[in-house]
Amino acid sequence: MTEGLRERKKLATRQALHLAALQLVAERGLDAVSVDDIAERAQVSSRTFFNYFPSKVDAVVGLDPTTPFQVSSDFSARPATESPVQALRAVQRARAQEMAEEEELWPLRMTVIDAHPSLVQRLIAAFGEAELALAEAIAERTGTRVGVDVYPTLLAAVQGCAMRISLQRWVATDFTASLPDLVDEAWDALAAGLPAPPRAAT
Amino acid sequence: MTEGLRERKKLATRQALHLAALQLVAERGLDAVSVDDIAERAQVSSRTFFNYFPSKVDAVVGLDPTTPFQVSSDFSARPATESPVQALRAVQRARAQEMAEEEELWPLRMTVIDAHPSLVQRLIAAFGEAELALAEAIAERTGTRVGVDVYPTLLAAVQGCAMRISLQRWVATDFTASLPDLVDEAWDALAAGLPAPPRAAT
DNA sequence: GCGGAATGTTGCACGCTCTGCAAGTTTGCA
DNA sequence: TGCAAACTTGCAGAGCGTGCAACATTCCGC
């Protein structure tokens, strides 16, 4: 079934390290947790920790390095009849759905991340890594050129903002809101050109 | 004129450290420059370095910690007849103008930053610091509520994107483009709701 | 099963980052 | 001129992150 003992052990160790990091930081805060602490709880040496994650913050955030690039390949897989904005909204909705379904993992993850600026920064950086790839996919679809036109680069960047703000609001509602709905709200505002919302009658 | 010898010396030291950091990183790359190197070139002890900047990357980026908050106060100072998007565009245009006028500093700064992901990350984080303050100012102006409505938070975040992408494109054109014009281009796309641009007739 | 190749784990040594503390020095001000 | 406040510096120390070499485990063909 799974591809060999070795692969399974590696995955287990990785998850153990991520979970340990997450729990410890939730308990004590980022600064009060050392790499040694995390390694100890995950039952490996601190040297081994660095075989899995390049830094403490990476272990806490715990994203698979390939995850960010999923967005650009998902985008390319959307029907060509959709506008870029429609396609990105759909991609993010789907992603949001997946996150919301992992009820154990993502809320804990986001709670911890949201409480520490350096973790938020790392999460944003993770989005940023795939920005060029996504910009190229957008350029491809729209006949624009990365490095010449604003459009692909800007849209790729704004897409990251939309997801970030949606996640932030999800945390703020204590995960009572529907993440896909929050994503939709953000894209509604973006697609409309960010007009000042009508003032609610009081 | 300037307020005392002490203040002037502090400012001079700060600028010396920033310039030293910038030049050294431009010459050798970020990883090949240590805090000791920077301190030595600026003629202070490495301990003193940390009295001015909390880390190496901060010294290279070299932003005054109050700078990011300028955006939100400038925004609040714009006439209330402008829409939030119009006001932010105007604020950024003005800021872009100032940057472009410091012909010695900003191009070098941006060249160095653009070449190192961790510096880009730090610059983005600097924008992020003021995001809450800006969101509150936007909420104030539009009668929305931070933490409830998407609008203020999203717009504050997107504004950072617009500036970031404009700067990135400025670097990409080797500073031949007009930064205020690049800012305008970004806001044109945003205000229109990010529609796919018409394909150029070939 | 067996043995060698590939892969993973660990300890060690090292350089760098950043902080607190306790001098010593310079500036501000009456 | 002299005291108080502020700045600089060296030192000690904890933690991060990496290269290296030895050891252990898994894989795979036979």
Residues 6+ apart with CB under 8 A from A103: none
Whether any strand D atom is under 7 angstroms from the Cβ of A5: the reply reads yes
Cα dihedral: B88, B193, B163, B170 (round 10): -130
What does the domain layout of chain B look like in residue ranges?
4-59, 67-191
CATH of domain B4-59: 1.10.10.60
Q: How many angstroms is C1' of C9 away from CA of A6?
A: 13
Other Cβ atoms closer than 10 A to B122: 19
Q: Which of helix, strand or coil describes residue B72?
A: helix
Q: Which residue of A has its CA nearest to B154?
A: A165
- d(Cα B46, Cα A94) in Å, to the nearest integer? 50
pLDDT for B163 beyond 80: yes
- d(Cα B91, Cα B72) in Å, to the nearest integer? 9
Q: What is the 3-state secondary structure (H, E, C) of B108-148?
A: HHHHHHHCCHHHHHHHHHHHHHCHHHHHHHHHHHHCCCCCC
* % of chain A beyond a pLDDT of 70: 98
User: Phi and psi for B80 in degrees, rounded to 5?
Assistant: -70, -10
Chain pair A-B, CB pairs under 8 angstroms: 124
Structure token pair of residue A21: 């990091």
As to burial, measured by CB atoms within 10 angstroms (0-12 exposed, 13-18 middle, 19+ buried), residue B156 is buried
Structure token pair of residue B125: 């984080």
The tens digit of pLDDT for each residue in B100-141 reads: 999 999 999 999 999 999 999 999 999 999 999 999 999 999
pLDDT for B5 beyond 80: no
Contacts of B153 in chain A (CB under 8 A): 165, 168-169
pLDDT for A96 beyond 90: yes
The number of CA neighbours under 13 Å toward the Cβ of A201 is: 0
What is the pLDDT, as a whole number, of residue A4?
81
Query: How many residues belong to chain B?
Result: 202
Across A164-181, average pLDDT: 98
Where residue B201 falls among pLDDT bands split at 50, 70, 90? low
Structure token pair of residue A6: 């070795």
* % of chain B beyond a pLDDT of 70: 98
Domain B67-191 in CATH: superfamily?
Tetracycline Repressor, domain 2 (1.10.357.10)
Considering only the beta carbons, identify the residue of B150, B186, B196 that sits closest to A169.
B150
State the nearest residue by CA to the C1' of C7. A6
- d(Cα A25, Cα B12) in Å, to the nearest integer? 40
What is the pLDDT, as a whole number, of residue A6?
86
* Chain A nearest C-alpha distance from B43 (Å): 31
ipTM of the complex: 0.93
Q: Among all chains, which residue has been given the structure tokens 């992603």? A: A95
CATH of domain A4-60: 1.10.10.60
